Amino acid sequence: MDANPQQVVDRRIGVVGCGQMGAGIAEMCARAGLDVVVVESDADGARRGRTRIEASLARAVRSGRLDEDGAQAVFGRLALTAALDALADRTLVIEAVAEREDVKTGVMAALDRIVTDPDAVLATNTSSIPIMRLATATSRPSQVIGLHFFNPVPVLRLVEIVPSLLTSQATRVRATAFVTETLGKHAVPAPDRAGFVVNTLLIPYLLSAVRMAESGFAPPEDIDAGMVLGCAHPMGPLRLADLIGLDTVQAAAEAMYAEYRDLHFAPPALLLRMVEGGRLGRKTGRGFYEYTAA
CB 164 within 8 A of CB 130: yes
In this structure, the number of other CB atoms found within 10 A of the CB of residue 4 comes to: 10
**Marked catalytic residue, from 27, 125, 148, 168:** 148
**Marked catalytic residue, from 40, 99, 160, 168:** 160
Rounded CA gap, 145 and 282, in Å?
Answer: 29
Rounded CA gap, 253 and 247, in Å?
Answer: 10
CB 134 within 8 A of CB 162: no
The conformation of residue 286, written as its DSSP 8-state character, comes to B
Q: 37 — phi, psi (to 5°)?
A: -110, 125
CB 214 within 8 A of CB 268: yes
| Known active-site residue 199 | yes
What pairing do the DSSP bridges indicate for beta strands 186-189 and 158-163?
parallel
| Known active-site residue 254 | no
Rounded CA gap, 158 and 180, in Å?
Answer: 10
**Marked catalytic residue, from 128, 151, 168, 199:** 199
Let me know how long the chain is: 294
**Marked catalytic residue, from 56, 125, 127, 164:** 127
At 179, the amino acid letter reads: V
SS3 92: strand
| Known active-site residue 4 | no
Helices (H), the chain: 20-31, 43-63, 68-76, 101-114, 131-135, 169-177, 198-215, 220-231, 237-244, 246-260, 269-276
Which residues have a catalytic role annotated? Answer: 127, 148, 160, 199
